[in-house]
Structure 1
Amino acid sequence: MCIAINFSDILRKNSKIFYGVAYLITISDLIYRKFSMSVPQTMPNILRIIEKPLSMGALSAAIFVVVMYTGALDNRRDYTKKLMSVRAELSILGCIFFLAHTIPYCIQFFKTIDKVNMSSAFSIISILTILAIIIMLPLWITSYKNIRKKIKAKTWKNLQKLAYIMYLLIYLHISVLFLLWTKKYDKFILYTLVFGIYAVLRIRKYIIQNKKKK
């Protein structure tokens, strides 16, 4: 979050460059991995450092957390204003990197859909991922300023409410991943705290804003 605050001006002024780099990294990663579920052993060490948080979803999750919390923080604060100024840009970057994490899972799921146990952890994760992508697409597309300008303010605002469903799906995805598949309970607790604190802050902000309206 500190990085997003300190580099908000650079990101806003050079957003297209950041998008281009993000697309390049994501496409390169997917091609290099050949849509496999594991990291190639031949990958150079420097690329492994980038590839691991990308393929595991840690990078996109970190960006989405910043986007989430931005909407839950006090709008009067300077740091919130800086984050709000690049919230759309961060959302787009998060969506781009989210594909690097999710596309291989989706491809693997559809390749084995006739053999896979639909109640297995992998199937549940894949279904949650597909639903998240479906909801993410309109949010992603309308985050681009040239497209957003063509949409009525009320319509765009209502569309953004889908983000809460996407956040829930991402949390469920993480929960199944760490509870039922990898059994990494410490990470499940960590993400539960992150999403839980966000929920409390967002509900608190909603209540305060409603009181002011009255």
Structure 2
Amino acid sequence: MILTLTLLCSLAFFHFFGKAVKKKPAVLYGICILLSLVSIFYPREGGLPFLDFFFKKIMQRGILAGSLFILVMLAPVLPKSFSGRKTIYLLRGEMAICASLITLAHNLAFGGKYFGALFLGQGHISLMELHAAIVSCLMILLLIPLTITSFQTVRRKMQAKTWKRLQNWSYLFYLLLYLHIFFIYQGALIRGKGEYFFTLMLYSFIFGFYGFLRIRQYRVQKESREKKAVPLLRIGGILPIVCLFLSVFYSAGKYRAALEANVDKIRAQETVAESKESADNAAENKGSVESIGNGEEKSDSALEASGDKASANSTAASSDSKAVDANSASGTYKDGEYFGKASAYNGNVEVKVTISGGKMTAIDIVKTKDDEEYFFDAQKKVIPEILEKQSTDVDAVAGATTSSEGIAHAVEKALEQAKQ
């Protein structure tokens, strides 16, 4: 949905402002640089909903850059009958430069995590994320010369054949772009996010459609220089389709296994709850019978019971005192709200733990600098398990191990205060 919306908005912008962009492209480049800088330093919390959506979902995640690259990719192969082809074709150079500038924000927003893990061994990333990071490095190496030679001032100083030969590397860039997208979304599907399948399917359709149109265009052209590129073009057209079908079978199995595991967990919880309820009912019935028997005994020895009342009160007070000491020794917490802070992936994570009735009843994230998507994966699994077990001894989330451990350690820090 976001990809489709971004593609339509980008196409509409260049349709209405295309002439102005063609006359003064430097103004648009400056705007792209400014938006990229704002995106890099945009706060994680406290922003307006519209700005949050634009900078976090569209800019930082590379949706806008990817949409512009897709338009540039499709421009030469779209049928001439397509109404927007002329606009895209005439402005594809400016679109490519804008997409490259915006890609800077995407790489800086996510590069600290993925490139740090790839080159410095810092933190933990999944196998799919590792593949995406490697592909991203290859894309950057290709993008630098392709972007520089897209400027009209540079292009005019180059020979036409040399410029054309260099720009042919854009076919490989498009292929790497799809692989990068595939690995990112495939990793999300493996983690059980089935909603990402339709987005991956849309990307696969677009890139597969491009490959089909490229091969079709080649067949109707007779220039020998076009024939040299056909093996790569065929790979570019077939690979997205193959990857899509592999994704369907692999991720569907993983997602189904996750669902089944969740169902088994719910059933186990229901069984435990039913067993506990049965035990409580049995204890209640037993207590009722004992209460009746005690009532008969009290009617026969009322005087004796009243004589022992003072002794019973004294014993009860002593028992209450011992119970308090036992609760303190076993770690019962004082009611209130307590804060804890611990190290996570991109910095500290701070939590607020609410204690009621001596137990943890709520855990809220006060502040974090970790990546929103992967931190959310850790948060939605770790916090419910801590509350359920009343313990921080829980399993970390695959792909978000450091964030999971950070949450658990922060809760431990807060509980240390609650014991004082």
| Shared fold per TM-score greater than 0.5 | yes
2:97 equivalent to 1:85: no
CA deviation vs aligned residue, 1:143-189 (integer Å, no higher than 9, x gap): 11111111111111011111111111110011111112354211111
Structure 2 match to 1:170: 177
Structure 2 match to 1:94: 99
CA deviation vs aligned residue, 1:33-60 (integer Å, no higher than 9, x gap): 5xxxxxx012232321320211111111
Structure 2 match to 1:54: 59
Structure 1 match to 2:109: 104
Q: Distance in 1 between matches of 2:97 and 2:68?
A: 10
Q: Distance in 2 between matches of 1:118 and 1:53?
A: 23
Structure 2 match to 1:36: none
Q: Given that residues 105 and 126 in structure 1 are in contact (C-alpha distance below 8 angstroms), is that contact kept between their aligned partners in structure 2? A: no
- Cα distance, 1:158–1:48 mapped onto 2, change above 3 Å: same
- Cα distance, 1:77–1:192 mapped onto 2, change above 3 Å: closer
Letter in 2 for 1:130: C
Structure 1 unmatched runs, 5+: 34-39
CA deviation vs aligned residue, 1:88-133 (integer Å, no higher than 9, x gap): 0011011111221122322223333324568712211111111111
Structure 2 match to 1:18: 28
CA deviation vs aligned residue, 1:56-96 (integer Å, no higher than 9, x gap): 11111111111111021246877433322211001101111
1:30-69 superposed matches below 5 A = 30-32=40-42, 40-51=44-55, 52-69=57-74
Point out which structure has higher relative CO (alpha carbons under 8 A, 6+ apart).
1
Q: Distance in 1 between matches of 2:114 and 2:61?
A: 16
Q: Distance in 2 between matches of 1:97 and 1:42?
A: 23
TM-score, normalisation: structure 2: 0.46
Q: Given that residues 117 and 123 in structure 1 are in contact (C-alpha distance below 8 angstroms), is that contact kept between their aligned partners in structure 2? A: no
Q: Given that residues 128 and 186 in structure 2 are in contact (C-alpha distance below 8 angstroms), is that contact kept between their aligned partners in structure 1? A: no
- Cα distance, 1:199–1:5 mapped onto 2, change above 3 Å: farther
Secondary structure, aligned partner of 1:32 = coil
Q: Distance in 2 between matches of 1:103 and 1:206?
A: 38
Between 1:44-53 and 1:61-70, the stretch displaced more is 44-53
Letter in 1 for 2:25: S
2:199 equivalent to 1:161: no
- Cα distance, 1:111–1:9 mapped onto 2, change above 3 Å: same
Q: Given that residues 118 and 124 in structure 1 are in contact (C-alpha distance below 8 angstroms), is that contact kept between their aligned partners in structure 2? A: no
Structure 1 match to 2:218: 206
- Cα distance, 1:118–1:50 mapped onto 2, change above 3 Å: closer
Structure 2 unmatched runs, 5+: 1-10, 227-420
Q: Distance in 1 between matches of 2:218 and 2:83?
A: 20
Q: Given that residues 122 and 181 in structure 1 are in contact (C-alpha distance below 8 angstroms), is that contact kept between their aligned partners in structure 2? A: no
Between 1:5-14 and 1:145-154, the stretch displaced more is 5-14
1:186 is matched with which residue: 172, 175, 198?
Answer: 198
TM-score, normalisation: structure 1: 0.86
- Greater radius of gyration (CA): 2
Name whichever structure is richer in strand by fraction. 2
Q: Distance in 2 between matches of 1:152 and 1:50?
A: 40
Q: Distance in 2 between matches of 1:23 and 1:114?
A: 30
Q: Given that residues 116 and 123 in structure 1 are in contact (C-alpha distance below 8 angstroms), is that contact kept between their aligned partners in structure 2? A: no
Secondary structure, aligned partner of 1:7 = helix
- Cα distance, 1:178–1:118 mapped onto 2, change above 3 Å: closer
CA RMSD of aligned residues (A): 2.4
Q: Given that residues 185 and 200 in structure 2 are in contact (C-alpha distance below 8 angstroms), is that contact kept between their aligned partners in structure 1? A: yes
Identity of aligned residues (%): 29
1:145 is matched with which residue: 152, 156, 176?
Answer: 152
Q: CA deviation at 1:7?
A: 3.1
Between Structure 1 and Structure 2, how many residues are aligned? 207
Q: CA deviation at 1:11?
A: 1.8
Q: Distance in 2 between matches of 1:88 and 1:148?
A: 11
- Cα distance, 1:117–1:44 mapped onto 2, change above 3 Å: closer
